[in-house]
Amino acid sequence: MGDIIAMVGRMIGKQLSRWTLAWFAWALCFLIAALGLGVVGLAGPGAWSTGLALAAVHLFALGWLGMMMLGALIQFTPVLCARPVAWPGLALSALLLTGGGTAVLAAGFLSLEGWGPGQGLLAAAPVLLAAGFGLAGAMLVPTLIAAKGLAGAEGRMVVLALIALAGLWATGTVMAAALAGAGLPVSLPDAMPAHILLGAGGWLTLAAFGVSYKLFAMFLLAPETDGPLRRAVFGGAGLALGLTFGGAGLALIGRGALPLSLLAALAGAASAGLYLAETARLWRSRRRPQLEVNMRWSRAALAFLALSALLLPAAMLWGGRWAEAAIFLALAGWLSTLTLAQMVRIVSFLTWIQIFAPQIGRRPVPLVSDLTDARATGRWLGLWTAGVAGGTAALAMGHAGGFRLAALAMLLGALGLGREAWAIRRLRHLDPARRPDRLPPVILPLPFQGAPHDRPRSLRA
Ligand code: HEM
């Protein structure tokens, strides 16, 4: 118990962000919408360029994964940097603009299906997204810089991820303008690999690397060391990002960029390999013999990362099914399995801190793990993982029916994990005698509960 309290104290202290659960809830809604489109067959093998499929891809990548990542970064950057986040009052506006911008972008893609108003929405979405990302950046970047975050491996990696997010936005915006008929010289086939590398590889994967350095060390009770392996991962990632920016720049002025994107993919795959070696080192040095459910299933996510990195060169050279399988493995396998497994743990942590941390020393408090049903969580994560494996096989074989079945398994897994998060918020797995009389809201924050820095200045004590 003592170690958990100490860990909680180190991890969150008094820096609880008020909107984290709202970021997570909105992200889960986007995930369910995207998978729903997959289940009914509107996105699947060989059919990713229709308006509805592009909507599904972006609901998944930007809505589900991007919003989970931004919500988690706003919560954990203060932990990575050991100082309060800058401008905490911007979190709600960032949430509304990012969520709204993603929904508008998805609706805008319907212009490709002949829906007239979609053109205007496609033009408006990048503006909303720029405002949302900008506000989130205004919270995160000064916090990382002021805390000399660049000196730590995790902070450095998050800064690289945020640079990739800016590049992702720029490539997406130029492509959206070209689709809306702006008559730009951009070469879309050349811009696409850079766009996908910046999104799945740069922004999401590098942010996941940075956050996982801290979370894995905490959950495994392993010593944190910023050794040569971490510096090599950073070097490889920086090189890959530089080459991707070069490729994107060439594509945006209408020049061939595929050789540069291929080199970027190779550097990215090598960096992923080094990250996996570093994670294996961390795993071996752990002091927690019995792995908790979030860490057990994180191994599946790491295996998907390895597979996706191995497929990357083939995806760049031959495209088609190779590319579909590699991108799906990265987005649904590596990033989503990791996110879903850690989401359950983070929700129970936040719930425990909100409800029980103030009672420490006054009455016996439960363990964080008492709030979760580890077996049910494991079953839903197992179903999700089986769905991802089936979906990858279906994409590799071009089997539309198999992909719909896999999407259904993933949808059920996601719904089960969403239900589990809800049960944690309601303390359903805790003996009723140990539950407090009143529980906080499931998603929205209590008015002005949370950290003092998160309140309007006029209401601070
Ligand atoms: C993590 C974030 C993102 C990921 C992983 C991602 C991924 C993708 C993928 C895989 C495609 C190609 C689908 C296909 O045709 O096979 C695509 C296309 C596209 N993306 Fe994104 N994207 C992301 C963010 C964005 C953002 C922020 C914008 C806009 C600001 C955007 C705008 C577009 C546009 C306009 C296209 C269509 C290009 C065309 O069909 O010619 N994307 N994206």
DSSP notation for 377-419: HHHHHHHHHHHHHHHHHHHHHT-HHHHHHHHHHHHHHHHHHHH
Please report the DSSP string for 43-76 in residue order: SBTTB-SSHHHHHHHHIIIIIIIIHHHHHHHHHH
Q: How confident is the model at residue 285 (pLDDT cuts 50, 70, 90)?
A: very high
Span 125-170, pLDDT tens digits:
999 999 999 999 999 999 998 876 567 888 999 999 999 999 999 9
Span 208-224, pLDDT tens digits:
999 999 999 999 999 88
Span 405-437, pLDDT tens digits:
999 999 999 999 999 999 999 999 998 888 888
**Per-residue model confidence (pLDDT) at position 15:** 64
Burial of 28 (0-12, 13-18, 19+ CB in 10 A): buried
CA distance 64 to 402: 23
Which of 4-8, 190-194, 261-265, 423-427 is the least confident region? 4-8
Phi, psi of 407 (to 5 degrees): -65, -35
Residue type, 372: T
CA distance 137 to 272: 25
Which residue minimizes the CA distance to atom 20 of ligand 1?
Answer: 172
Mean pLDDT over all residues of the chain?
A: 90
Which residue minimizes the CA distance to atom 7 of ligand 1?
Answer: 196
Pocket of ligand 1, beta carbon within 6 A: 48-49, 54, 57-58, 61-62, 66, 105, 126, 129, 168-169, 172-173, 175-176, 179, 188, 192, 195-196, 199-200, 203-204, 327
Instruction: Give the count of beta carbons closer than 10 Å to the beta carbon of residue 85.
Output: 25
CA distance 425 to 253: 50
Which of 37, 42, 48, 58 has the most ligand 1 atoms within 8 A of CB, as the residue to mutate? 58
CA distance 63 to 257: 28
Domain locations in the chain as residue ranges: 2-450
Class of domain 2-450: mainly alpha
